[in-house]
Structure 1
Amino acid sequence: MSLLTHVLACLFGMGSWVAINGMWVELPLVVTEIPEGWYLPSYLTVLIQMANIGPLFITLMHRFRPGVLDERPVIYCIVGLGIVATFLLAFFWRQTMTIGGSLHSVPLLVLTFLLSVVDCTSSVTFLPFMMRLRPQYLTTYFVGEGLSGLVPALVALTQGVGLVHCQNATLAVVANQTADNATMVGSGELQAIYQPARFSAQVFFVFLSVMMVVSLVAFILLNHHPSVARERKNDLYFSGDLAPGKREQGLSLHAQTPEQKPMISHLESKREAKSSFGKGTYSNLELVFIFVVLAWVNALTNAILPSVQSYSCLPYGNKAYHLAATMAAVANPVACFIAMFLPIRSLFFMGFLTMFGTGFGAYNMAMAALSPCPLLVHSASGTAVIVLAWILFVLSLSYVKVTIGVILRDEGHSALVWCGAVVQLGSMLGAVSMFPLVSVYGLFRSGDACNTKCPM
C-alpha cells in the first residue's frame, strides 16, 4: 500500500460533506445578518432533502442502464460546482431580494441548494469510485469523510462562532444606550451577549472553497498519479479487462490449485443460490438487515439527533454544547481509525453496536425533550454525562457505518452505489420525521442561556 494513496483518499473524502457541514457550524454567525433569522435551519433541511434528486438520478441510471454512467466525469462536475458555489457564497450570502413583499436571502438559498446537490450526490459517486482502489483505502476515505465535519467545526471554534457571555441587563443599557434595551433597566436579569467573531463568514466560506479545491486535486492525482496508476495496473483485482464479479472470482481461483477449483466452483454456486446481490455472500435476510441498519444509523447520525443537539446540550451551558459538538466530530474519524486496525465484520456485533449507540442516542433525545431542565442540569456530572453520551453515540454508530461500507465494498460496484442511496434515504427519512416536530409543532424548547431557572 502507498502512503501517498492513503493521504489522497483522505483528502478526497474530505470534499464529500464539507460544504454543508461548514454551513451548519456557521449558522450562529449567518442568521444574525439575514432576514430569515433562525428559520434558516428549517429551510436548509428542506433544501437538503430536495437535493436528493441527484442521488436518485444516479441510482436509477445504475439500476436501468448499468455500465453506462462513469462516476469520474460526474465527480469532476459536482466538485467543480462545489468550488464555484462556495466561492460565490463568500461574496453574496448577505444579498437579499424582495419576493412577495418581503426580503429573502435568495442567493444564499440557491447556492446552498447547489451545495446540497453536490454533497448528496457524493454519496453515490465517491464510494463507487473508491471501488477502483484496494479495500484498505475505503476506510481511509471514511476517515476523510469524518474530517469533512471535524475540520469546519474546529475552524468555527477558532473563529469564535456562537460564543456568548452573560451580562447584567442594566450594564448592557449603559453600554448601548438604546431605547429598546432601556426597558430592562433595574430588572435584575442577565442578557446574553454574542462575542464578535475573530474573522468574517466571508473568510470562512473562502476556506470551504479551498477545501473543495484540495479535494479536486486529490481526485485528479488518484486518477493520474503514476504511483496510484502503477498500483492498480500491477494488481489483478483492479484489472479493467473483466467485470467486477469475474475479476474477484478470477483472483480467487488464481490462488487455488487445480484440485481445489471444482470445490471452489461448487461453493460459489451455493453462494449465488443464497442471493443474487453482489457476489452472493449474504442471504436476502442478511442483506435486508444490513441495509436497515445502514438506513437507521444514518437517520440517527445525519438528521434526527443533530436536529436536537442544541436542545440536549445548551441547558448545561454554552461550553458543554461546543465541547459535545467538537468531540463528537472528533469521534467520527477516530471510529474510522479503529475500524482500519480492528475490523470486525460480524453481523451480530454490528447489531449489538447499533443498539449500544442507539441507547446513547435515546439518552440525548430524552435530554432534548426535557429541555430547558434536563437531568443533572446544575451539576458538573450532568455536563460530563451529556458530552460522553454524544461521543459514544457518534463513535459507535460511525464504526457501524464504516463496517457496512467495507462489507458492501467487497460485494462489488453496484453494492456501493446502493450503499450511498440507502445512506441518503435514511438521512431523508430522519429529516422528514424531525422537521415537523422541531419546526412546525415546536415540541422542543430551548432555555435562555443566562436566565433559565430549573428546580434543584
Structure 2
Amino acid sequence: MALLTHFLACAFGMGSWVAVNGLWVELPVLVTILPEQWDLPAYITIIIQMANVGPLFVTLMHRFRPGLLKEVAVIYVIVSVGVLACLLLAFFWDHTTSIAGRPRSTAFMILTFFLALVDCTSSVTFLPFMIQLHARYLTTFFIGEGLSGLIPAIIALGQGSGIFSCENVTRLVNITSGNETVETTIFHMETHYLPANFSTFFFFLLMTVMMVGCMLAFFFLTRQPKVWEVSQQQLFPRNIVLSSFDQIPDEAADSQLNRGCACPKDARGSGDVLPEKAHYPLAKLIFIYFLTAWVSTLTNGVLPSVQSYSCLPYGNVAYHLAATLSSVANPLACVVATFLPSRSLVLLGTLTIVGMGFAAYNMTIAVMSPCPLLRQSQWGSTTIVLSWVLFIGTLSYVKVMVGVILRSCSRNALMWYGALEQLGSLLGALLMFPLVSIYGFFKSADVCSLQCPA
C-alpha cells in the first residue's frame, strides 16, 4: 500500500504543471506555424500571469470565508478543466481568427489561459491536500512535480521539436551603381527546422492522457487512509473514524489527538501517530517564506525567460541538453531530499546563495548573447549545461525542504507556500517581460549565420 500511495502521489504531482511545461517544450514547433511566431513566448508569459487570478481567489476565500471551498471538489474541478483544455487544444491549437486585419491564434490563447489557470491554482490546492497523507509522500509529490517538466521534454525530444539544419542558400541581388544595375549572387547560411517525427495533435493528446492520469491518481488518493484516521484507529479502535478531510480541520485534529497521547516528534511508519506541530519564531518564518518567494522568482520567472539566449549561442545540442538535463535535475533533487533531508535553515540559505551564483552566470551569458564567452569552445557548451543543471538542482532541493518544513507547521502554511510560490513567479515574469519582449535587451542567436568578432 505504501508503494502504491507513492506512485499515486507522484502521478498526482505530475499533473500540477505538465500542461504549461508541455506548451514551453512544444514552442519550437508552434512558432513555425502560428502567426505570432517568436512573439508567442511573450504572449504565453502574460497569459500565465493573468491566470494567477485562480490562486488569488482561492487564497482570499480561505482567508475571509474559511471552509466554504471544499478542497477535494476544487481539485476535481480544476483537473477536469485541465483535461478538457488539453483535449480541445489537440484539435484547435492551430485555428486562427482575423483581428484588426491580422491573423491571431485566439483558440490557442484562450485554451492556454485555462491550462495556466489549472496549473497556477494547483499550487494552492494540491499541496494543502497532501497534508492528509504521511509526510513521506510530500517529497514523492515534489518528485512528480519535477517529472511534469521532464516527461514533456523527453516527448518533445522524441518528436524532434526544434531540431534544425544549416543550409547554404543562394540569392540573386540587384546592385545599382550609377546608371548600371548589376545582378550579383550572394551565398549565405539559413536555419531550416526539420519536420517533427509526430504531430502536435498527438503531442497534446499525450498531455491529455497525463492529465487524466492525474485525475485518476487523485481519485484513489482520496480513498487512502488519512494521517489522523490511522492515529485515531490506534488510539480509539472502537470509535467511528471520520472519513472526510473537510469534517475535521488539521488544527482541530491535531489538538484532539494530542489530548489523547504524547505524540512522538518523528513518525516513521504508516501506523505511527501524528507528529507534533513544529513551531518557528516569526523571524525564521519570514526567512522561510522569503526563500519560497525568492527561489520561485528565479526558477519560475527570471531565468526561464533567458534560457534560450544563454544556451542557443553554443548550438542546438547545448540548448536541448540544458533544457532536458535541468528537467532531470528537478526530480533528482527531490530524490536526494528523500534520502538526505535537512531542515537546517543555514544550509538552505547557503544552497540558495550557491544557486544564485549559477543563476548569475546563466544571466551573464544571456546578456552577452549572441556572442558569449567560449562560444567556439567545447568548454563553453559544457559549462552552460552544467550551470543550468546545478542551478535547477540546488534550488529544487531548497523548495522541497521548505515545503517539508511548512508541512510540519499546518495546512495553512502549505497554502501560503503555494501562494508565495505563485507571487514570486509573477514578480519574476513581470520583471523580465519588458526586458525581453518590449525593450529587446536580449539578442537571440542564429548559429547558422552568426558572425562574432574575434
TM-score by length of 2: 0.89
Partner residue of 1:315?
Answer: 313
Is 2:331 the partner of 1:325?
no
Q: Structure 2 matches for 1:217-236, cutoff 5 A?
A: 217-224=216-223, 228-229=224-225, 233-236=229-232
CA contact (8 A) 1:169 1:184 kept: no
CA contact (8 A) 1:245 1:279 kept: no
> After superposition, what is the alpha-carbon deviation per residue over 1:132-160, rounded to whole angstroms, capped at 9, x for unaligned?
10011010000000000000000000000
User: 1:252 Cα deviation (Å)?
Assistant: 5.1
User: 1:103 Cα deviation (Å)?
Assistant: 1.3
Selected match of 2:279 from 278, 281, 289: 281
AA at the equivalent of 2:290: V
Q: 1:249 to 1:341 in 2, by over 3 A?
A: farther
Is 2:350 the partner of 1:352?
yes
Task: Indicate the SS of the match to 1:234.
Answer: helix
Is 100-109 or 311-320 further displaced after alignment? 100-109
Alpha-carbon separation, structure 2, partners of 1:346 and 1:184:
72
Partner residue of 1:447?
Answer: 445
Partner residue of 1:247?
Answer: 253
Is 92-101 or 340-349 further displaced after alignment? 92-101
Partner residue of 2:380?
Answer: 382
Structure 1 portions without partners, runs of 5+: 178-182, 258-277
Task: Indicate the SS of the match to 2:32.
Answer: helix
Q: Give aligned-pair identity as a percent.
A: 55
Task: Indicate the SS of the match to 1:189.
Answer: strand
Partner residue of 1:215?
Answer: 214
Is 2:423 the partner of 1:417?
no
AA at the equivalent of 1:234: V
AA at the equivalent of 1:216: M
Partner residue of 1:90?
Answer: 90
User: 1:236 Cα deviation (Å)?
Assistant: 3.7
Task: Indicate the SS of the match to 1:196.
Answer: coil
User: 1:287 Cα deviation (Å)?
Assistant: 1.2
Alpha-carbon separation, structure 2, partners of 1:233 and 1:415:
21
Q: 1:193 to 1:72 in 2, by over 3 A?
A: same
Q: Structure 2 matches for 1:53-452, cutoff 5 A?
A: 53-170=53-170, 186-224=185-223, 228-229=224-225, 233-236=229-232, 243-251=249-257, 254-256=260-262, 281-452=279-450
User: 1:292 Cα deviation (Å)?
Assistant: 1.0
CA contact (8 A) 2:167 2:192 kept: yes
CA contact (8 A) 2:251 2:410 kept: yes
AA at the equivalent of 2:251: G
AA at the equivalent of 1:199: F
> After superposition, what is the alpha-carbon deviation per residue over 1:343-400, rounded to whole angstroms, capped at 9, x for unaligned?
1001111110000001100000000000011111110111111000000000000000
Alpha-carbon separation, structure 2, partners of 1:256 and 1:74:
35
User: 1:283 Cα deviation (Å)?
Assistant: 1.4
CA contact (8 A) 1:20 1:119 kept: yes
User: 1:33 Cα deviation (Å)?
Assistant: 1.1
Task: Indicate the SS of the match to 2:98.
Answer: strand
Task: Indicate the SS of the match to 1:451.
Answer: coil
Q: 1:303 to 1:230 in 2, by over 3 A?
A: closer
AA at the equivalent of 1:22: G
CA contact (8 A) 1:167 1:192 kept: yes
CA contact (8 A) 1:236 1:247 kept: no
Partner residue of 2:3?
Answer: 3
User: 1:187 Cα deviation (Å)?
Assistant: 2.7
Partner residue of 1:51?
Answer: 51
- Across the aligned residues of Structure 1 and Structure 2, the Cα RMSD in angstroms comes to 2.2
Q: 1:184 to 1:149 in 2, by over 3 A?
A: farther
Q: Structure 2 matches for 1:28-39, cutoff 5 A?
A: 28-39=28-39
Task: Indicate the SS of the match to 1:188.
Answer: strand
Alpha-carbon separation, structure 1, partners of 2:184 and 2:316:
25
Alpha-carbon separation, structure 1, partners of 2:449 and 2:124:
46
User: 1:246 Cα deviation (Å)?
Assistant: 4.2
Alpha-carbon separation, structure 2, partners of 1:23 and 1:406:
29
User: 1:451 Cα deviation (Å)?
Assistant: 1.7
Task: Indicate the SS of the match to 1:165.
Answer: strand
Alpha-carbon separation, structure 1, partners of 2:309 and 2:232:
52
Alpha-carbon separation, structure 1, partners of 2:132 and 2:293:
25
AA at the equivalent of 2:229: K
CA contact (8 A) 2:163 2:194 kept: yes
Aligned residues: 424
Alpha-carbon separation, structure 2, partners of 1:40 and 1:191:
21
Is 62-71 or 20-29 further displaced after alignment? 62-71
Q: 1:331 to 1:185 in 2, by over 3 A?
A: farther
TM-score by length of 1: 0.89
Partner residue of 1:261?
Answer: none
Alpha-carbon separation, structure 2, partners of 1:393 and 1:301:
8
Q: 1:90 to 1:255 in 2, by over 3 A?
A: same
User: 1:279 Cα deviation (Å)?
Assistant: 5.3
> After superposition, what is the alpha-carbon deviation per residue over 1:19-75, rounded to whole angstroms, capped at 9, x for unaligned?
000001101101111111111111111111110110001000111112222111011
> After superposition, what is the alpha-carbon deviation per residue over 1:232-279, rounded to whole angstroms, capped at 9, x for unaligned?
63234996675423433455565549xxxxxxxxxxxxxxxxxxxx95
Task: Indicate the SS of the match to 1:132.
Answer: coil
Alpha-carbon separation, structure 1, partners of 2:118 and 2:184:
50
